[in-house]
Structure 1
Amino acid sequence: MLRRSLVKFFFRKPTAQQRLQTSRSQKQSPKIQVAFQNGSFQVSGLDDWLAHWQEPYYFLITIPWAGFILIATLVYGLINTLFAVAYLLGGNGIANASPGSFWDAFFFSVQTLGAIGYGAMHPITPYAHFLVTLEALTSILFTALVTGLAFARFSLPSVRVMFSDFAVITPYNGVPTLMIRAANQRRNKILEAKLQMYFLRDEISIEGTAIRHIYTLPLLRDHTPSFNLPWTAMHPINEHSPLRGATLESLRQTKAVLLVALTGVDETVAQALHARHTYSVDEILWNQAFVDIFYDSEDGHRYVDFTHFHEVTSTIQSEEASIQ
């Protein structure tokens, strides 16, 4: 009877009212938002951060190197601490160690885990020998895991694509055109590069449902066989563009975001590369154009001046209220 009650308590299904309250609380406190700086989805809150540990491999692969080394160091110290406590619980099982000394037990664990080889201290009891055997197995597994993760991190292809700080809207061939800049910062080339531009904004359906609509913005040129020079991606705002008739205020009200995604193949390692960047409404400059960064030298060669990569200049003195 008691067992049946415990099963009902721990495994009971939530009622419809409880599910409704949970759904409402999730809607009132959204946890996922689009970051405006790096184009990635960022989660807020401690619970969401801890949720990353449900997939520890991807978490340890994607965090910065400093975080990876810190976690590996903490786990290494935790393993030695746990085994040091276990050695102390077995009494005087370590020769030439001070009785009850935590630090002697800790550094004996370090010698065992690192397969350094014993000096004065060594196990002398069956209990200590059993712990040494268990720690040796732990050492093999820990070393293999850390080495494998480090190798996987090194083998991942990294991309260094610089996007302009701002997107601009300026006339091109008589048509208002949305433009962004991208540049490959590595010496090698990105082959079969393809750049896509997306426009996100909040909309209300006929039924009154709020949705986040994603539009694909067609570009005048969305691919290049070899991406080694700066690339200016251009979207003409014509009668087919979702930006047609948009104003700065309307974009702010709909929480509009411009997302740029670039894919390609690394010339050196022949692996796929991905890069993305987002622009908020305030990072889209109207009636502005990028400063020309190409110039010809006296010896007849063409150079790129990256010092002016992010600079813009005004094209129209009086700003229009909307994109006509």
Structure 2
Amino acid sequence: MKKFRTRVKETLDPGFGTRYQQDAKRLINKDGTFNVIRKGVGFSSRNVYQDLIKMSWTRFFFATMLLIFSLNTIFSLIYMGIGMEDIEGEIRGQGFFHNFSQAFYFSFQTFTTVGYGRLSPVGDLSSFVAAIEAMVGLMCFALVTGLLYGRFSRPNISLEYSKNVLVSPYKDGWALMFRIANRRQSLLMNMKASVSLTFKEATNGEMMRRYFVLNLERKNILFFPLSWTIVHPIDSESPFYEIDLNTINDYDLEIMIQMEGFDETFGNVVHSRYSYLPSEIEIGAKFQPAFKTDKKGNVILDMDDLHIFDKVPYQQSEMGNQKLNADRNIENQKEK
């Protein structure tokens, strides 16, 4: 990998650290989570609660069903251990699977407090176990109801980021550009953007990270009903100004994005994170319009159009070429 040479002043470590014993993956994953695995924290019910709140709906559904069916299976085996003669009703047939199915149906009716009446406990021990199961069922459904409320009431943001960062024509030069849009029908206000650059380089056998804050054309907007193209001008104050962007894939860098906005539905401030790697930077390209107006005058925003761009000829700025050539001459002199 090439060394990233720039005269732009570095910024302080935003919280990811600067020294690494070996190469590391991207800092911010595509889903906005940090690429950090915590070990040695021990078990905490609070962590379980947070995991259940933050996990996907599919995983939450299967986790809930697994818990309910596992508990009913355990109680079914307990009833079978006590003896099926302690359950009164139309229990016909013989064999383990038949008895287990009858015990499972009875357990599920007790767990959900439905109690159809066909099956009922008659012994003291089976009645005691049924009472315990009914309480466990009530507590389980109360917990699931609380988790559902927490998941629905938790304010979060769902932004669509363009698949690529483009190096596009901007005024008399070039700029890095990417687009975002709100995937939900909620109203977002006072959107703020913060974009940083980090790159890795080997120094004395150690992997070091350096960080830079990228200046933006606009750091915030008041209203966010459509898409927002966030622009970083590649000028003399940009760390990209003195490098050959045609060789961007030769650099080990990452563009990190932090978005903040006010969700009018929940009345809370919400955040979103994303990052781009060199392979996701398109040199010499320009976004196509992401929205249009129909015959009735309605503005139509198509999320699929957020990622569409056209290629344009790219040419390094004259000043940037001069600095790049000067740096190359200095490197050649050092090598001699």
| 1:159 aligned partner, one-letter code | I
- Alpha-carbon separation, structure 2, partners of 1:322 and 1:76: 67
- Alpha-carbon separation, structure 2, partners of 1:288 and 1:322: 21
Indicate how the Cα distance of structure 1 residues 150 and 302 shifts in structure 2: closer, same or farther if over 3 A, else same.
closer
* Match status 1:215 vs 2:194: no
- Alpha-carbon separation, structure 2, partners of 1:78 and 1:322: 69
Pick from 115, 128, 131 the counterpart of residue 130 of structure 1. 128
Indicate how the Cα distance of structure 1 residues 54 and 187 shifts in structure 2: closer, same or farther if over 3 A, else same.
closer
* Match status 1:77 vs 2:48: no
SS of residue matched to 1:88: helix
SS of residue matched to 1:55: helix
How far is the alpha carbon of 1:174 from its aligned partner? Answer: 2.0
Pick from 35, 56, 60 the counterpart of residue 48 of structure 2. 56
Q: Paired residue for 2:33? A: 40
SS of residue matched to 1:41: coil
Asked whether the 8 Å contact 1:180–1:234 carries over to 2, the reply is: yes
Asked whether the 8 Å contact 1:169–1:284 carries over to 2, the reply is: yes
- Alpha-carbon separation, structure 2, partners of 1:192 and 1:317: 34
Deviations 1:23-82 (A, max 9, x none): xxx96797x7546643433579xx99x999982112211222111111111111100110
- Alpha-carbon separation, structure 1, partners of 2:319 and 2:33: 29
Asked whether the 8 Å contact 2:21–2:207 carries over to 1, the reply is: no
1:69-148 matches, cutoff 5 A: 69-91=61-83, 92-96=85-89, 97=91, 101-148=99-146
SS of residue matched to 2:86: coil
- Alpha-carbon separation, structure 1, partners of 2:145 and 2:271: 25
Deviations 1:188-207 (A, max 9, x none): 421111111121211345x5
Asked whether the 8 Å contact 1:203–1:254 carries over to 2, the reply is: no
- Alpha-carbon separation, structure 1, partners of 2:173 and 2:246: 21
- Alpha-carbon separation, structure 2, partners of 1:318 and 1:173: 14
| 1:181 aligned partner, one-letter code | R
- Alpha-carbon separation, structure 2, partners of 1:323 and 1:72: 58
Asked whether the 8 Å contact 1:36–1:279 carries over to 2, the reply is: no
Q: Paired residue for 1:263? A: 260
Q: How many residues align?
A: 293
| 1:192 aligned partner, one-letter code | N
| 2:122 aligned partner, one-letter code | I
What TM-score comes out, normalization by structure 2 length?
Answer: 0.74
How far is the alpha carbon of 1:179 from its aligned partner? Answer: 1.0
Percent identity for Structure 1 against Structure 2: 27
**Which runs of 5 or more residues in structure 1 are unaligned?**
1-25
- Alpha-carbon separation, structure 2, partners of 1:265 and 1:241: 29
Q: Paired residue for 1:193? A: 191
SS of residue matched to 1:87: helix
- Alpha-carbon separation, structure 2, partners of 1:69 and 1:293: 35
How far is the alpha carbon of 1:240 from its aligned partner? Answer: 2.5
- Alpha-carbon separation, structure 2, partners of 1:253 and 1:298: 48
